[in-house]
Structure 1
Amino acid sequence: MSRSPVVARRRLGAALRELRTTAGLRLEDAARTLDCSMSKVSRLENGKGVPRHRDVRDLIELFGASAREREDELMRLVIDSLSAGEGLVTDFRDVFEGAVVSNEVSRYLALEQDATAISAFEPFLVPGLLQTAEFAEAVVGFFYPERSREERRRLVDLRMQRQEVLRRPGKGRLRFAVVIAEQALRRPIGGPAVMRKQLEHLVGQLRDGLSEVDFRVAPLDLVHAGVLGGPFAVLRFAEEQDQDVVYLEGRDGATYLEAEEQVRRYAETFAALIEACPDRAGSVAIVERAAELLPT
Structure 2
Amino acid sequence: MSTRTSPTVKRRRIASELRRLRAGTGMSAEEAGRRVGLSKSAISRIENAESTGQVATVAALMRLYGVADEDVEQIEVIARQARTRGWWQRWNDVLPAWFDTYVGLESEASHISEYEPQLVPGLLQTADYARSVIRAEHPDDTVEEVERRVELRLQRQHADDPPKLWIVLDEAVLHRIVGSREIMRAQLKRVLDTAQRPGNDIQVLSFEAGEHGSMGSAFFILRFPDPRDTPCVYLENRAGSLYLEEVDEVQQYTTLFDHLRATALGVRRSEEMISEAINRL
**Residues 246-284 of structure 1 deviation map (CA, whole Å, 9 limit, x = unaligned):** 001112211111111000110111122112211211111
CA distance in structure 2 between the aligned counterparts of 1:243 and 1:229, rounded to whole angstroms: 27
Cα offset for 1:141? Answer: 1.0
- Please say if 1:122 is aligned against 2:156: no
Which of 21, 29, 34 pairs up with 2:37?
21
Structure 2 equivalent of residue 133 of structure 1: 127
TM-score normalised by L of structure 1 = 0.69
Structure 1: 5+ residue runs without aligned partners? 10-17, 52-77
Matches for 1:178-257 after TM superposition, within 5 Å: 178-207=167-196, 210-257=197-244
Cα offset for 1:30? Answer: 7.7
Contact 1:224/1:273 (8 A) holds in 2: no
Structure 2 equivalent of residue 62 of structure 1: none
Cα offset for 1:43? Answer: 5.0
Matches for 1:165-176 after TM superposition, within 5 Å: 165=159, 168=161, 173-176=162-165
Which of 47, 50, 53 pairs up with 2:81?
50
Label 1:32 to 1:205 Cα distance change in 2 as closer, same or farther (>3 A): farther
CA distance in structure 1 between the aligned counterparts of 2:210 and 2:73, rounded to whole angstroms: 52
Cα offset for 1:175? Answer: 1.3
Structure 2 equivalent of residue 148 of structure 1: 142
Contact 2:110/2:224 (8 A) holds in 1: yes
Cα offset for 1:229? Answer: 4.3
Contact 2:116/2:168 (8 A) holds in 1: yes
Matches for 1:50-89 after TM superposition, within 5 Å: 50-51=81-82, 78=83, 81-82=84-85, 87-89=86-88
Percent same amino acid among aligned pairs?
A: 30
Contact 2:111/2:165 (8 A) holds in 1: yes
CA distance in structure 1 between the aligned counterparts of 2:64 and 2:97, rounded to whole angstroms: 24
Cα offset for 1:164? Answer: 2.1
Cα offset for 1:226? Answer: 3.0
Contact 1:27/1:38 (8 A) holds in 2: no
Contact 1:181/1:227 (8 A) holds in 2: no
Cα offset for 1:289? Answer: 2.3
Structure 2: 5+ residue runs without aligned partners? 1-6, 12-32, 44-59
Structure 1 counterpart SS, 2:103: helix
TM-score normalised by L of structure 2 = 0.73
Higher relative CO (Cα under 8 Å, sequence separation at least 6) belongs to 2
RMSD: 2.9
Structure 1 equivalent of residue 55 of structure 2: none
List structure 1 runs of 4+ shifted beyond 4 angstroms: 29-33, 40-44
CA distance in structure 2 between the aligned counterparts of 1:225 and 1:30, rounded to whole angstroms: 49
Query: How many corresponding residue pairs?
Result: 231
Cα offset for 1:136? Answer: 0.8
Structure 1 equivalent of residue 52 of structure 2: none
**Residues 170-217 of structure 1 deviation map (CA, whole Å, 9 limit, x = unaligned):** xxx41111001010111111122211221123223434xx22111101
Structure 1 equivalent of residue 260 of structure 2: 273
Cα offset for 1:155? Answer: 1.4
CA distance in structure 2 between the aligned counterparts of 1:273 and 1:259, rounded to whole angstroms: 21
**Residues 50-97 of structure 1 deviation map (CA, whole Å, 9 limit, x = unaligned):** 01xxxxxxxxxxxxxxxxxxxxxxxxxx5xx23xxxx533xx61x21x
**Residues 221-263 of structure 1 deviation map (CA, whole Å, 9 limit, x = unaligned):** 2135334240000001122321211001112211111111000
CA distance in structure 2 between the aligned counterparts of 1:29 and 1:267, rounded to whole angstroms: 36
- Please say if 1:106 is aligned against 2:100: yes
Contact 1:121/1:178 (8 A) holds in 2: yes
Contact 1:30/1:41 (8 A) holds in 2: no
Structure 2 counterpart SS, 1:157: helix
